[in-house]
C-alpha cells in the first residue's frame, strides 16, 4: 500500500452563494491516470443521494501546470497520465439543511465527508489530513468547529485534523458556527452536545437528562463503550426533525419546543 498521506483543505469560500472549496493533494498518483470518486450515499441513510451533482467546478494541476481531468460517469473522474503529485481543486454547492449532506450560509457551516471529499481510488487505506479554514468574510458571529475527528493542531483561522483512512474521514460530521456547547461524562467517557440556532434551553436540565439516557443505553448493551468520546451535533429550528448516527457522533435536528426551556 502507498503510505503517502492524502491531504485535504476545505474552505467556506462564499457564504452567500453557499460554496465550499476543496483542495486535494495526492503524491504518487496512478501513472496511467488517477481516478477520483465521490460516494452516492451516506451510511445510515440508505438511499442514492448523488452527492456529485453538487460539484460545480473541478480542475487538476501537477508541477504548477493544468492537467486534463475527464468525467467518467456521474461520480468518477480520471486525470491524464501523470508521474508527479496532483492537486485537485473543486467547488461544491452546499445548501441542504438535512443531516445527510452539506450546508453553508452566513449562520453556519455543516458537512458530512461523504458529500464533500473525493476519494483517490487505490488510496482508500491511506491516512488523511484535513485542514479546515474558517471563513474570512463572516461578520455575524465568532465561529467554532465541532467534530470527533482527531485534532492535530489549531491556530487562528484554521484547524488541522487527521483520519486513519478515507472511511474514517467521512464518518465524522463537522459543524462550524457560533453554537452553544456543553460537556458531560458517562461511564468515564467524555460526551458533549452542541446547539446551533436560537434557543433558550435549560442546559443544566438537558445535561442531566442526557446523562441518564446515555447511561441507560450503555447499560442496556452490556456496559462497554465502543468509543473514546461522543458528540451530539444539534441544529435547533422552529419546526424540524432528523437524525443520523455515526461511530462517535450523531447529527441531529430538533424543534425549539422539544428542548427544556429556562424558567
Q: Is the pLDDT of residue 221 over 50?
A: yes
Would you say 241 and 253 are in contact if contact means Cβ atoms under 8 Å apart?
yes
pLDDT confidence tier of residue 3, bands split at 50, 70 and 90? confident
pLDDT digits (tens, 9 = 90+) for 31-69: 999 999 999 988 888 888 899 999 999 999 999 999 999
pLDDT confidence tier of residue 147, bands split at 50, 70 and 90? very high
- pTM assigned to the model: 0.94
| HSE-CB for 256 with a 13 A CA cutoff | 10
Q: Is the pLDDT of residue 167 over 70?
A: yes
pLDDT digits (tens, 9 = 90+) for 13-35: 999 999 999 999 999 999 999 99
Domain ranges of the chain: 6-174, 180-258
In this prediction, residue 2 carries a pLDDT of 63
In this prediction, residue 1 carries a pLDDT of 47
Query: How many CB atoms lie under 10 A from the CB of residue 147?
Result: 22
pLDDT digits (tens, 9 = 90+) for 82-124: 999 999 999 999 999 999 999 999 999 999 999 999 999 999 9
Cell of 80: 491524464
DSSP at 13: E
pLDDT digits (tens, 9 = 90+) for 232-248: 999 999 999 999 999 99
In CATH, the number for domain 180-258 is 3.30.2010
Q: Per-residue pLDDT averaged across 161-189, rounded?
A: 97
DSSP at 134: P
What is the SS3 assignment for 18?
coil
Question: Hey, what CATH topology would domain 6-174 get?
Answer: Immunoglobulin-like (2.60.40)
Amino acid at each position: 500500500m502507498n503510505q503517502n498521506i492524502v491531504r485535504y483543505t476545505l474552505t467556506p469560500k462564499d457564504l452567500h452563494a453557499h460554496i465550499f472549496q476543496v483542495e486535494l493533494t495526492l503524491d504518487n498518483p496512478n501513472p496511467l491516470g488517477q481516478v477520483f470518486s465521490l460516494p452516492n450515499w451516506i451510511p445510515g441513510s440508505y438511499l442514492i443521494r448523488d452527492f456529485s451533482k453538487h460539484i460545480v467546478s473541478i480542475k487538476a494541476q501537477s508541477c504548477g501546470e493544468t492537467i486534463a481531468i475527464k468525467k467518467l460517469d456521474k461520480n468518477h473522474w480520471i486525470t491524464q497520465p501523470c508521474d508527479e503529485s496532483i492537486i485537485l481543486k473543486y467547488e461544491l454547492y452546499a445548501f441542504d439543511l438535512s443531516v445527510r449532506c452539506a450546508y453553508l450560509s452566513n449562520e453556519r457551516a455543516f458537512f458530512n465527508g461523504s458529500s464533500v471529499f473525493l476519494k483517490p481510488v487505490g488510496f482508500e487505506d491511506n491516512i488523511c489530513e484535513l485542514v479546515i479554514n474558517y471563513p474570512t468574510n463572516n461578520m455575524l458571529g465568532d465561529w467554532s468547529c465541532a467534530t470527533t475527528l482527531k485534532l492535530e493542531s489549531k491556530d487562528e483561522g484554521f484547524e488541522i485534523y487527521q483520519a486513519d483512512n478515507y472511511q474514517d474521514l467521512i464518518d465524522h460530521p463537522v459543524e462550524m458556527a457560533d453554537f452553544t456547547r456543553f460537556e458531560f461524562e458517562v461511564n468515564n467517557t467524555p460526551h458533549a452536545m452542541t446547539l446551533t440556532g436560537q434557543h433558550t434551553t435549560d442546559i443544566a436540565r438537558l445535561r442531566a437528562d442526557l446523562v441518564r439516557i446515555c447511561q441507560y443505553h450503555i447499560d442496556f448493551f452490556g456496559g462497554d463503550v465502543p468509543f473514546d468520546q461522543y458528540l451530539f451535533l444539534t441544529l435547533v429550528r422552529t419546526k424540524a426533525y432528523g437524525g443520523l448516527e455515526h461511530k462517535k457522533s450523531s447529527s441531529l435536528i430538533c424543534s425549539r419546543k422539544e428542548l427544556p426551556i429556562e424558567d
